[in-house]
């Protein structure tokens, strides 16, 4: 019989804990529906349903109590043995599943200390990089660093296709040392930004040679996390932003995504009926990271408009699913997740439009959100931009 690994047992503990929590959540939902029917309210109006009473309430409380008791028993029974087991190797399938769970429920996983919660880390070649001694994994590092950040529900393996990573090949060709970021995409973007700012301060402070240039390439949410990191690094007085020369946003919802805004409106509509309102709890269970995509928030203040960092060359790559220019497709559909204007930093309010020069913008038709990770024309354009040498411009907005 094959010996179980630490990863396998931790995954089982995390999945079991989520399953028990889901059981409690469903019990709460059923009880609220039960109470709603008892009150026989009008089909419209705010729900007044709470906990049921009497024997019925006792049954629901017993189900919740028993479920929580079993959950604690399973977790306590497995926890002492986890540290004694061999680490075990992860697989691409396992990493993909964990990344999806983190994207959807990551803030909850972190808050409940679930073993499935991803800890922010730097990686290269399947190995984790210790930011206090990066030379152990990157002995051939150069003075030019490229940080590569994935999007929602993804991880660094999604930059790889058919065994090759175009972004890594491009980075090495241009003289950069590529470093991948893996993070819990369900956390609030501002929280991930603060964590990344601290991580980069440690990494570049311990880089084996002087860092002459830092470039950050972010796909989708990864671009927002990068923006947040720069903002919070400057607030904290970190030194690494001085080395930042280029920020590249690939399909990044700089002004948010209509899909999340649609989800928010659906929650509001559902709450108009007391019979449907209990089900909004399921929709609202989506993570803080997803909710931040509503308007592309990168700080705790949702109303704040944070301009792109000064003295940094910023670039945006976008796409639309339509095969030719179509205003409806560009504004509503975009690449399937992000509208064209949002990806290019445009806004109907000129004061909120990012000052990105036309030469730093690129858009393609007939391309989806995930295709931006692999299409050769994307990397041809990146090569033109990132291959330029020279000092960053002073006094510019981007």
Cα angle vertex 370, ends 358, 397, to 5°?
A: 30
Structural tokens at position 101: 């769970």
Q: Which domains does the chain have, with CATH numbers?
A: 6-111 (no CATH), 121-257+293-386 (3.40.50.1820)
pLDDT of 72: 75
Q: Are 221 and 104 in contact (CB under 8 A)?
A: no
Res 51: pLDDT: 64
pLDDT value of residue 75: 76
Q: The whole model's pTM is what?
A: 0.84
- pLDDT reported for residue 48: 53
Which residue do the tokens 């995509």 mark? 293
Beta bridge partners of 146: 178, 215
d(CA 17, CA 109): 10
Strand 361-365: give its sheet, edge to edge: 127-129, 121-124, 177-182, 144-149, 213-219, 244-250, 313-320, 361-365
Residue-level pLDDT at 143: 97
The C-alpha atoms of residue 65 and residue 62 are separated, in whole angstroms, by 5
Phi-psi region of 88 (alpha: psi -120 to 50; beta: other; left: phi over 0): left
CB atoms within 10 A of CB 240: 22
Cα–Cα distance for residue pair 360/248, rounded to 1 Å: 9
Which pLDDT score is estimated for 65?
Answer: 78
CA atoms 93, 108, 60, 31: torsion sign: negative
What is the DSSP-derived secondary structure letter of residue 326? -
SS3 39: helix
Going residue by residue through the chain (398 aa), what tens digit of pLDDT does each one get?
Answer: 566 787 788 888 888 888 878 776 666 655 565 455 555 554 444 555 566 656 666 665 777 777 777 877 777 777 776 766 677 788 999 999 999 999 988 999 999 999 999 999 999 999 999 999 999 999 999 999 999 999 999 999 999 999 999 999 999 999 999 999 999 999 999 999 999 999 999 999 999 999 999 999 999 999 999 999 999 999 999 999 999 999 999 999 999 988 655 444 444 444 444 444 444 454 556 789 999 998 899 999 988 999 999 899 999 999 999 876 666 556 667 898 999 999 999 999 999 999 999 999 999 999 999 999 999 999 999 999 999 875 454 444 45
CA angle 49, 50, 53 (to 5 degrees): 110
């Amino acid at each position: 019989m094959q010996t179980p690994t630490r990863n396998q047992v931790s995954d089982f503990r995390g999945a079991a804990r989520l399953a028990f929590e889901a059981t409690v959540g469903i019990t709460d939902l059923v009880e609220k529906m039960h109470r709603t029917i008892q009150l026989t309210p009008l089909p419209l109006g705010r729900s007044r349903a709470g906990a049921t009473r009497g024997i019925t309430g006792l049954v629901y409380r017993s189900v919740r109590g028993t479920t929580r008791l079993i959950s604690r028993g399973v977790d306590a029974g497995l926890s002492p043995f986890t540290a004694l087991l061999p680490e075990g190797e992860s697989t691409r399938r396992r990493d993909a599943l964990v990344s999806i769970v983190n994207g959807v429920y990551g803030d909850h996983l972190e808050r409940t200390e679930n073993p499935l919660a991803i800890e922010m880390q730097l990686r290269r070649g399947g190995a984790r990089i210790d930011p206090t001694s990066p030379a152990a994994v990157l002995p051939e590092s150069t003075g030019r660093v490229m940080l590569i950040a994935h999007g929602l529900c993804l991880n660094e393996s999604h930059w790889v296709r058919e065994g090759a990573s175009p972004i890594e090949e491009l980075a090495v060709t241009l003289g950069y040392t590529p470093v991948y970021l893996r993070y819990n995409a369900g956390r609030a973007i501002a929280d991930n930004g603060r964590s990344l700012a601290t991580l980069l301060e440690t990494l570049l402070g311990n880089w084996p040679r002087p860092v002459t240039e830092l470039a950050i390439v972010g796909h989708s949410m990864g671009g927002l996390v990068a923006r947040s990191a720069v903002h919070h690094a400057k607030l904290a007085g970190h030194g690494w932003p001085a080395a930042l020369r280029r920020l590249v946003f690939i399909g990044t919802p700089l002004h948010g995504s209509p899909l999340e805004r649609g989800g928010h409106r659906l929650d509001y509509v559902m709450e108009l009926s007391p019979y449907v309102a209990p089900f909004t709890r399921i929709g609202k269970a989506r993570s803080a990271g997803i909710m931040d995509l509503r308007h592309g928030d990168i700080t705790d203040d949702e109303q704040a408009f944070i301009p792109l960092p000064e003295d940094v060359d910023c670039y945006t790559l976008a796409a639309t699913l339509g095969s030719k220019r179509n205003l409806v497709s560009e504004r509503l559909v975009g690449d399937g997740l992000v509208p064209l204007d949002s990806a290019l930093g445009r806004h109907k309010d000129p004061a909120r439009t990012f000052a990105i020069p036309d030469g730093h913008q690129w858009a393609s038709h007939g391309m989806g959100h995930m295709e931006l990770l692999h299409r050769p024309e994307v990397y041809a354009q990146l090569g033109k931009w990132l291959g330029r040498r020279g000092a960053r411009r002073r006094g510019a907005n981007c």
